[in-house]
């Protein structure tokens, strides 16, 4: 066991059910690894949780969900913050870093519906709920007839809106439904060949102060090396595309033996143009491969697509 003078670790967390689940998950793992350390939750409401009526792309994106947590760490009101890697911005404020990436849950998107057994059975013109540009462009590419309708809020809010009959189906990350113990809501796990996940989807990361050596030593127990390599490759691709947080970009990496293979796509919002490519190489080169795949996509016109998307938004 690591020698430590730390007796308490404070986790800054959003109050949504999923955020709380993830914070408790990290608490349980930290306490199991370090029985002498007490882990407490410091729940807080973020701007992103308060503004629910405006599409995320229009209010500045995912950074709104992490700002308060980061300020709490910088002001020493909390020591760590637990994030869905998917929501973690590419850059970190001075003094903070993403230290730990935990083992990944199922990375796929889930088809959720009360009336249709799977994606193929959606009738002509069906209304599908999602606010993700990545999901929108891929769904429209597969089925141009579908009507994509905005869907904001935390997982429970989204399910309620489906149950109220506002949508024929909605798409959510499988990981969220599994963690909230609602796997029965998942009518179909959408294969990654059909719907390429978002970078980091299904993985939880832990942010802390860059100079907090003791906390970093304690967090090491939660690190999962394969997940780190995969998520770093995916994030490097997004970074190379200068993809902000709300973008029609998918990236997904898998590891077999010492080889990592990464697939990426950039699409127009109407789904009419989708640029796809892939790359593979040694796991130790994960980030460089991500950057290289971004360049391959840019060379095929991804920059033109993204410019058009940003001009609309």
Number of H helices, E strands in the chain: 10, 13
For residue 32, the minimal CB distance to ligand PBG (Å) is 21
User: Taking the mean position of all CA atoms in its chain, how far away is CA 116?
Assistant: 26
Gap between the Cα atoms of 146 and 139, Å rounded: 8
For residue 23, the minimal CB distance to ligand PBG (Å) is 13
For residue 149, the minimal CB distance to ligand PBG (Å) is 15
For residue 185, the minimal CB distance to ligand PBG (Å) is 11
Q: Which residues pair with 188 in a beta bridge?
A: 111
Kindly tell me which of 30 and 170 has the beta carbon lying closer to ligand PBG: 170
Gap between the Cα atoms of 31 and 205, Å rounded: 17
Gap between the Cα atoms of 127 and 145, Å rounded: 9
Kindly tell me which of 155 and 232 has the beta carbon lying closer to ligand PBG: 155
Gap between the Cα atoms of 306 and 174, Å rounded: 27
Selecting among 79, 87, 106, 168, the annotated active-site residue is: 87
Structure tokens belonging to residue 222: 């939660």
Is-catalytic flag, 76?
Answer: no
Burial 256-280 (b: 16+ CB within 10 A, else e): eeeebbbbbbbbbbebebbbebebb
Greatest alpha-carbon span in the chain:
62
Kindly tell me which of 86 and 230 has the beta carbon lying closer to ligand PBG: 86
Question: Which residues sit at the interface with ligand PBG, rule CB under 6 A?
Answer: 84, 86-87, 155, 172-173, 175-176, 201-202
Using a 10 angstrom Cβ sphere, with 0-12 exposed, 13-18 middle and 19 or more buried, the burial of residue 74 is: middle
Kindly tell me which of 175 and 262 has the beta carbon lying closer to ligand PBG: 175
Kindly tell me which of 25 and 92 has the beta carbon lying closer to ligand PBG: 25
For residue 24, the minimal CB distance to ligand PBG (Å) is 15
**Active site positions, annotated:** 87
């Amino acid at each position: 066991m690591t020698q430590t003078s730390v007796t308490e670790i404070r986790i800054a967390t959003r109050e949504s059910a999923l955020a709380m689940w993830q914070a408790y998950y990290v608490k349980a793992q930290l306490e199991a690894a370090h029985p002498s350390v007490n882990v407490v939750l410091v729940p807080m409401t973020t701007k992103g949780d308060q503004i629910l009526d405006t599409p995320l792309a229009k209010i500045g994106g995912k950074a709104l969900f992490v700002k308060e947590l980061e300020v709490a760490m910088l002001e020493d009101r909390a020591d760590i913050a637990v994030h869905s890697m998917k929501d973690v911005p590419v850059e970190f404020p001075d003094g903070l870093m993403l230290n730990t990436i935990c083992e990944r849950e199922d990375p796929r998107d889930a088809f959720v519906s009360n009336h249709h057994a799977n994606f193929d059975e959606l009738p002509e013109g069906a209304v599908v709920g999602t606010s993700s540009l990545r999901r929108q462009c891929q769904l429209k590419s597969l089925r141009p007839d579908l009507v994509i309708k905005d869907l904001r809020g935390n997982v429970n809010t989204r399910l309620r809106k489906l149950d109220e009959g506002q949508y024929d189906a909605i798409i959510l990350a499988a990981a969220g439904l599994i963690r909230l113990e609602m796997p029965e809501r998942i009518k179909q796990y959408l294969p990654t060949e059909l719907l390429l996940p978002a970078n980091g989807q299904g993985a939880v990361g832990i942010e802390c102060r860059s100079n907090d050596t003791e906390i970093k030593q304690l967090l090491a127990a939660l690190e999962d090396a394969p997940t780190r390599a995969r998520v770093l490759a995916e994030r490097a691709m997004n970074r190379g595309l200068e993809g902000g947080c709300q973008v029609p970009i998918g990236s997904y990496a898998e590891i077999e033996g010492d080889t990592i293979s990464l697939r990426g796509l950039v699409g127009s919002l109407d789904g009419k143009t989708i640029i796809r490519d892939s790359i593979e190489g040694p796991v130790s080169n994960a980030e460089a491969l991500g950057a290289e795949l971004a360049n391959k996509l840019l060379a095929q016109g991804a920059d033109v697509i993204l410019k058009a998307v940003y001009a609309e938004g």
